[in-house]
Amino acid sequence: MDKQDIFEQVDGIEERMGTTYAELGALKKRIIMLIEENKRLSIENQQLRKLIRQDETVLEQPEGETKEPLPLTGAGYDNLTRLYNEGFHICNVYYGHLRTEGDCLFCLSFLNK
Ligand SMILES: [Zn+2]
């Protein structure tokens, strides 16, 4: 095998690795987006279920005793703490995004308020 052949082969591998690396990066972004979307949907689902339960409670009440539905408190402190511990941002800078680099100072300063 002469030198030219070897270099051509190495160039080929280098090019394929570059493509693979780019594909991996794109895939990682998609995974992050899917995880974030999944979280948004599960929170929305939870809030909708809460609303349905409130509706049922209102319907079960006898006439003349209609009560105002409870306000949605999906952003309660406990919920935010849980969300943060599940690996998501709760700060107003990146809210709802996956924390891919460990702790976030914005979130932590919010939690320590
Ligand atoms: Zn944050």
Q: How many whole angstroms from 15 Cα to the centroid of ligand 1? A: 37
Residue 89's region, left for phi above 0, alpha for psi from -120 to 50, else beta, is: beta
Q: What type of residue is 91? A: C
Per-domain residue ranges of the chain? 1-63, 73-113
| Residue 98 bridge partners (DSSP) | 88
- In eight-state DSSP terms, residue 90 is -
pLDDT of residue 112: 85
Q: What is the pLDDT of residues 44-95, one digit of tens each?
A: 888 888 888 877 776 665 555 554 444 434 457 888 898 899 999 999 899 8
Q: What is the pLDDT of residues 76-89, one digit of tens each?
A: 788 889 889 999 99
Q: How many whole angstroms from 29 Cα to the centroid of ligand 1? A: 18
Side-chain-facing half-sphere of 51: CA atoms under 13 Å = 8
Count of residues making up the chain: 113
Q: How many whole angstroms from 50 Cα to the centroid of ligand 1? A: 27
